[in-house]
Structure 1
Amino acid sequence: MGEKVFFGKGIRQIKMEDPELYESIENLDKNIWNAKVLDYRTQKLIAIAISATNNESSSFLKQVSKSKKELGISRDEMMDVLKVVLLTSGMIPFNHALEVVNKLYD
């Protein structure tokens, strides 16, 4: 697992203003990524699929870019993820996510 990165812009402020809340968020994050059955790579692919459905390209770009670099997620794996996005969330999120994947893998 790489360096801790929270994508919410307000988290930095929470860290300064409410260290106890920040610590709780950090502990929750550790517990989520420490699954008993699914490996970290599978969990990240699930997270990428969920991120793709939010139509927020910068967050999705960060997720895919980091996973590609740290975990070696392939374009074929990403396309499998996007097929699930297409089935469950429709053409608009699929197209937005596909644009990002094309930028990163082409």
Structure 2
Amino acid sequence: MKENVFYGKGMGPVKKDYPDIYEAIVGLNDAVYTGKALDYKTQKLIALAIAASNSDDRAVKKQISSVVETFDTSKDEIMDVLRIVLLTSGMPPFVKAVNLLYEVID
């Protein structure tokens, strides 16, 4: 279910020109997304919350798209995550993430 999809703009050149670094990143990804105690969906929702808390538009859109495509996650489930962002990070990151949610969902 988990794929090695990295959304950073620089990953293509890293994969091509520095395969050792790329493979280290793949290994780190595999070590993080294990699904041992928390299932993969929960881990992806945590990643979404972190991206939203950081106000990282590109990462938020990619995380929303990924969790919707991979798990058919509902808008309400994502809003539950974003409510936590509102509580922990404040109104600006929350509103920005909600706008991005509607861009991706609609």
**Is the TM-score greater than 0.5?**
yes
Q: What is the aligned length? A: 106
Gap regions ≥5 residues in structure 1:
none
**How many angstroms apart in 1 are the aligned matches of 2:95 and 2:53?**
10
Q: Which amino acid aligns with 2:14?
A: I
Contact persistence 2:4–2:29 (CA under 8 A): no
1:55 aligns with 2:51: no
Question: What pairs up with 1:35-50 in 2 under 5 angstroms?
Answer: 35-50=35-50
Q: Which amino acid aligns with 1:43?
A: Q
Give identity over the alignment, percent. 45
Displacement of 1:103 in angstroms is 2.3
1:83 aligns with 2:80: no
Query: Given the two structures, how large is their TM-score scaled by the length of structure 1?
Result: 0.91
CA RMSD, 1 decimal: 1.3
Counterpart of 1:99 in structure 2 is 99
Counterpart of 2:70 in structure 1 is 70
